Structure 1
Amino acid sequence: MDHSGHGMDMEMDLPPFTLGRGLEFSFDAFFLFGCLAGLALYGWGVFRLRRRGDSWPLGRTIAFTAGVLSIALVMCTRLNDYGMVLFSVHMVQHMIISMISPILLLLGAPMTLALRALPPAPRGHKGPRELLLALLHSRYMRIVTHPAFTIPMFIASLYALYFTPIFDFLMGSRTGHIAMMLHFLAVGLVFFWPIMGVDPGPHRPGYVMRMLELFAGMPFHAFFGIALMMASEPMIGTYAHPPASLGIDALDDQQWAGGIAWAFSEIPSVLVLIALVYQWYHSEQRAAKRADRAADRDGDRELEAYNAYLASLQARGQ
């Protein structure tokens, strides 16, 4: 199959895969410049806040930076090259860019940062901040972040893509490959955003419901991995004939890919549960503080009323 110069040439010059070779830098203009732009824009937002005296949590900056670097790790190294000819390496790319990167990016709260950093437009005009607000409150965003959409899309990104000719078609060109990876990232973002995202969104169910949404999608990753591991023949045409220079059997490679998909279903669950418990705890703390402040105000009003009553008694006595 022709990979528009991105896959066939590598079949001739890729040595057997090792972790060291996989982490070597490999230029990919789209993702490299995209990652640099993302870091630059985020840094600009933090700089604007700090310059005017506002604070921004360091943990959010670290999380967002780690999320961008995780994308660069799988798309701007030779992992991307090997992922064109080895199913197992591609599955590592898929799992990271669809499940690890989105969680880290969402913990960085980029939308909240943008809304705080962007200046409001003059009255009667719409600037970037107003357009972003309109998008966040749009009907489109309510649809794509609703569990009735996100969970089926999360599942379909596995079964409808890998078990149909769509995958081989996309892998046949560089543009298709980029589009597929962007799709994985986007699906991960809209799936995890209502569950544990820090940014404001159209759907914010209770914490128990968020956990149910998380566990509604994760088992399908495990089933997908098991299906790959149990198959008796290669199921993906793109990876049916690995280059002989790699010395890897296609069925063994597919079983490794299935094991990776199965194992990765556990990692995001743990990360998201930790984030949810942390957010839940702080939500309860904020609610308790609000209740304490309200009780203090009620107590002050009662004291004032009691003092006024005493004063009225004293006035009547006089």
Structure 2
Amino acid sequence: MGHGDHGGHAELPPLTPGRALEFGGDPIFLIGCLLALALYGWGVIRLTRRGDSWGTGRTVSFALGVLSIAAVTCTALNDYGMVLFSAHMVQHMVISMVSPILLLLGAPITLLLRALPTAPRGHKGPRELLVALLHSRYVRVVSSPLFTIPLFIASLYVLYFTPLFDFLMGSRLGHLAMMGHFLAVGLVFFWPIMGVDPGPRRAGHLMRMLELFATMPFHAFFGIALMMASEPLVDSYATIPGSLGTDPVSDQSAAGGIAWAFSEIPTVVVLLALVMQWYLAEQRTSRRLDRAADRDGDADLTAYNDYLARLGSRG
């Protein structure tokens, strides 16, 4: 039975944390998660064998990011997400706001650039192509706040408040595309704000904080709109199996509360990461200026000593 046929989920038992995390979901995301972990592991092993170091914290962060994707797409939560708006909203918020943050803190692009071999002079290998892509006009456009902020907001309002959501929920391919879209939007939005990988020139830390806060009112209003609605806003969740013990409006209100909460928690995490990055950047700048001042001071002292020596020789 297809993803869009809710009748196939009529026998689902009540949703509990233990039941939701049972293995299930979509094998395509499972394969993708395993490939991501394998590729990242290959990069870490390659650096280690070469004698280079790679931060354990980055590896743990990336692994947690991949596991968070698997937790909402490769478990029974994916089945509940087809019939419960609240379960779907957990999937949406995790895969678009939690997973991207963890993945980006793992610096996968930096790892790939360090692990890939450099092509011979006059040739272009995977590493050179990746560098060219990172500095391309295309990446500059998709990482601009003029693109990322409207895209992030549209992913809420255009998707849920138009017939597009019901259309995508009507097929397995549409559901896969929607989950992939959530992940891509999260990565594109958070990468220029708090990503540690190389790319187009980023704005200052203060401007990045403003970019982060720019979406918060829209996210909060979206959650409130779901909580205050007196009837189902999407047809896909207008009917809920009686075994789940809830009604569509109550479940939709719970989905709104989840969306509202997720607009706050990841924002605080990203803000803390930005403050830490800002502090470390200022420390590096201060050390660099100190070293430059020391060099300049030594040069001045040497010149003064040479001047005194010349005066002495004339005497």
TM-score (norm 1): 0.97
Match of 1:80 in 2: 78
Contact 1:85/1:242, CA 8 A, preserved across alignment: yes
Letter in 2 for 1:46: V
Match of 1:111 in 2: 109
Task: Tell me the distance in 2 between the aligned counterparts of 1:286 and 1:5.
Answer: 52
Percent identical among aligned pairs is 73
Contact 1:224/1:261, CA 8 A, preserved across alignment: yes
Task: Tell me the distance in 2 between the aligned counterparts of 1:272 and 1:194.
Answer: 12
Match of 1:227 in 2: 225
Q: Tell me whether 1:62 sits opposite 2:60 in the alignment.
A: yes
How far the C-alpha of 1:236 sits from its partner, in A, is 0.7
Match of 1:98 in 2: 96
Contact 2:3/2:169, CA 8 A, preserved across alignment: no
1:161–1:198: structure 2 CA closer, same or farther, 3 Å change rule?
same
SS of the residue aligned with 1:200?
coil
Task: Tell me the distance in 1 between the aligned counterparts of 2:183 and 2:84.
Answer: 20
RMSD: 1.2
1:197–1:250: structure 2 CA closer, same or farther, 3 Å change rule?
same
TM-score (norm 2): 0.97
Letter in 2 for 1:118: L
How far the C-alpha of 1:5 sits from its partner, in A, is 4.9
Match of 1:125 in 2: 123
Letter in 2 for 1:275: A
Match of 1:245 in 2: 243
Structure 2 residue aligned with 1:190, among 181, 185, 188?
A: 188
Contact 2:4/2:170, CA 8 A, preserved across alignment: no
Task: Tell me the distance in 2 between the aligned counterparts of 1:273 and 1:8.
Answer: 40
- Greater Cα shift, 8-17 or 261-270: 8-17
Question: Unpaired runs of 5+ in structure 1?
Answer: none
How far the C-alpha of 1:244 sits from its partner, in A, is 2.1
Contact 1:242/1:250, CA 8 A, preserved across alignment: yes
SS of the residue aligned with 1:265?
helix
Task: Tell me the distance in 1 between the aligned counterparts of 2:239 and 2:216.
Answer: 30
1:204–1:262: structure 2 CA closer, same or farther, 3 Å change rule?
same
Contact 2:58/2:106, CA 8 A, preserved across alignment: yes
| Off by >2 Å, runs of 4+ in structure 1 | 5-10
Question: Unpaired runs of 5+ in structure 2?
Answer: none
1:15–1:102: structure 2 CA closer, same or farther, 3 Å change rule?
same
Contact 1:118/1:129, CA 8 A, preserved across alignment: yes
Contact 1:145/1:203, CA 8 A, preserved across alignment: no
1:18–1:7: structure 2 CA closer, same or farther, 3 Å change rule?
farther
